Amino acid sequence: MSDPFELVESHLSHRGKVRLHGRDHLRAACPACGGKSTNTLSVRRGDNGTVLLKCFKSGCEVETIAHALGLDLSDLFPERDDARPVSKPRRIGLMLPMQAIELIASEAWLTAVAAENLANGYTLTDVDLARLRDASARIQGVYKELHQ
């Protein structure tokens, strides 16, 4: 697995002087506009490993700078681990999975209490029944979202 920053550094150092400023920043001559100063191009390692290029002499396009180094734009980005693709948690309707689980758990709890009351011979009030219908509708709503 290659590091985009090190890749750019190695391509630049083949062409001329590279001045390192710590692990994540270097300065060199911009390969696109051919400046002699080793200060014209700034190369930084971004937070996610992406290389950030900035030409201070002519404001060269990132793609132009990459091509001048014999690289493609994609070389400036870290490789994806295709075995474990980054995926967002799937939403269930408008809810995140954890929210759906919390809703189901609380409605299931209410339903279980009502069921236990019925099993013990209690009768449910109209208010209890209305709440039980709400719980049923919510549970069915999530179920339908998952199975549509």
Q: Is 55 in the site for Zn ion (CB under 5 A)?
A: yes
Cβ atoms of 59 and 47 closer than 8 Å: no
User: Token pair 């809703």 is at which residue?
Assistant: 103
According to CB under 5 A, which residues from 19 to 38 bind Zn ion? 30, 32-33
Distances (CA, A) of 82 to 1, 26, 32, 53: 12, 30, 33, 26
Q: How far is the CB of 99 from Zn ion (least distance, A)?
A: 49
Q: Is 62 in the site for Zn ion (CB under 5 A)?
A: no
CB-wise, 70 or 97, nearer to Zn ion?
70
CA distance 118 to 22: 71
CA distance 100 to 142: 7
CB-wise, 57 or 67, nearer to Zn ion?
57
CB-wise, 28 or 100, nearer to Zn ion?
28
Binding site for Zn ion (CB under 5 A): 30, 32-33, 55, 57-58, 60
